[in-house]
A = this chain, B = another copy of it.
Amino acid sequence: MTNQAIEDLKTYVGGLQDLGHVMGLLSWDMETQMPPAAADSRGKQMGILSELHHQRATADTLKHLLETAEATGSNAPVDKALLREVRRHYDHATKLPQAFVSELTEVTAKAHHVWVEARQKQDFSLFEPLLTKIVAMNRQQADYLGWEGSPLNALMDLFEPGLTVDEVDRLFNQLRAPLVQLVQAIGNSPHHATWPFDNERFAEAQQKELTVKVLETMGFDFKRGRLDKAPHPFCTNFSINDVRLTSRYHEEDPFSALLTAMHEGGHGLVEQQADMALERTPLPGATLGIHESQSRLYENILGRSLAFWTYLTPAIKAMYPECAAMQRLEAQDIFRLVNRVKPSFIRVESDEVTYNLHIMLRYELEKALIENQLQVADLPAAWNEKMQAYLGITPPNDSQGVLQDVHWSGGMIGYFPTYTLGNLYSAQFWHTANQDNPTLNSDIEQGKLAVLTQWLRDKIHRHGQVDLPAGIVQRVTGQALNAHYFLDYLWDKYTPLYQLSETPSYKTTVS
- A residues within 8 Å of B by Cβ? 14-15, 18-19, 21-22, 25-26, 29, 33-38, 40-42, 44-45, 47-49, 52, 221-226, 238-243, 279-280
Contact = CB atoms under 8 A, between A and B. Distances in A.
A42 B375 CA distance: 48
Contacts of A47: 18
A226 B18 CA distance: 27
Given A22-B45, A25-B29, A35-B225, 15 more contacts: A14-B44, A18-B45, A22-B26, A22-B49, A29-B29, A33-B33, A35-B222, A35-B242, A35-B243, A37-B221, A40-B241, A41-B241, A41-B242, A41-B279, A44-B280
A62 B34 CA distance: 31
A221 B35 CA distance: 10
A242 B19 contact: no
B238 A45 contact: yes
Contacts of A22: 22, 26, 45, 49
Contact of A38 (B15, B44, B241): B241
Contacts of A242: 34-35, 37-38, 41-42
A48 B18 contact: yes
A102 B47 CA distance: 29
How many copies altogether?
A: 2
A34 B240 CA distance: 13
Given A226-B33, A280-B44, A238 B38 contact: yes
A41 B14 CA distance: 10
Main secondary structure of the interface of A (DSSP, over half): helix
A15 B48 contact: yes
14 contacts: A19-B48, A25-B26, A25-B45, A29-B29, A33-B226, A35-B223, A35-B226, A37-B221, A38-B238, A41-B240, A42-B239, A44-B280, A45-B238, A52-B52
A44 B37 CA distance: 30
A223 B36 contact: yes
A267 to B, nearest CB: 16
A27 to B, nearest CB: 11
A52 B23 CA distance: 14
Contacts of A279: 41
Contacts of A36: 223
A35 B224 contact: yes
B48 A238 contact: no
A229 B40 CA distance: 26
Contacts of A243: 35
> In this complex, which of A44, A222, A242 has the most chain B Cβ atoms within 10 angstroms of its Cβ?
A242
Contacts of A18: 44-45, 47-48
Smallest CB-CB A-B distances: 6 pairs: A41-B239, A38-B242, A37-B241, A37-B224, A18-B48, A18-B45
Contacts of A226: 33, 35
A61 to B, nearest CB: 14
A102 to B, nearest CB: 18
A238 B19 contact: no
A279 B42 CA distance: 12
Contacts of A223: 35-37
Determine which residue in A49, A239, A240 has the highest number of CB atoms from chain B within 10 A of its CB, and name it: A239
A355 to B, nearest CB: 32
